[in-house]
Amino acid sequence: MIVYNFFCIRSYTTTGAAMKIRTMYDVGIAIRSGRENAGLSQQELADQASVSRSWLAKVETGKASFDFRKVLMVTQALGMTVEMSYGE
């Protein structure tokens, strides 16, 4: 059995630095940072990623459970990748 300890969201459009994601709040921080670095409003990113602005706002503040598929859609719209790591 593989146990995933964390996943990383990496942006190749800015610094390329990976951010370890251990909580839903961390996901929101990574997405908000990527959006701000891209100079996008929440509505612009939501439109590009085909998600609602209200859902995106909740994720960015760590207030929503989220559908991982939608997180992937948002990170793809930002030019980011999601990497899984296990067995540190």
**Residue 51 has what DSSP assignment?**
S
pLDDT in tens, 6-16: 556 655 444 55
pLDDT at 15: 54
Look at the chain and count its residues.
88
* Local confidence band at 78 (pLDDT 50, 70, 90 cut-offs): confident
Query: In the predicted model, is pLDDT for residue 73 greater than 60?
Result: yes
Q: Is residue 17 helix, strand or coil?
A: coil
Tell me which residue of 16, 29, 24, 37 sits closest to 68, measured CA to CA. 24
Query: In the predicted model, is pLDDT for residue 2 greater than 50?
Result: no
Is 0.85 topped by the overall pTM? no
* 4-82 has CATH 1.10.260.40 classification: yes
- Residue written as token pair 């390329």: 16
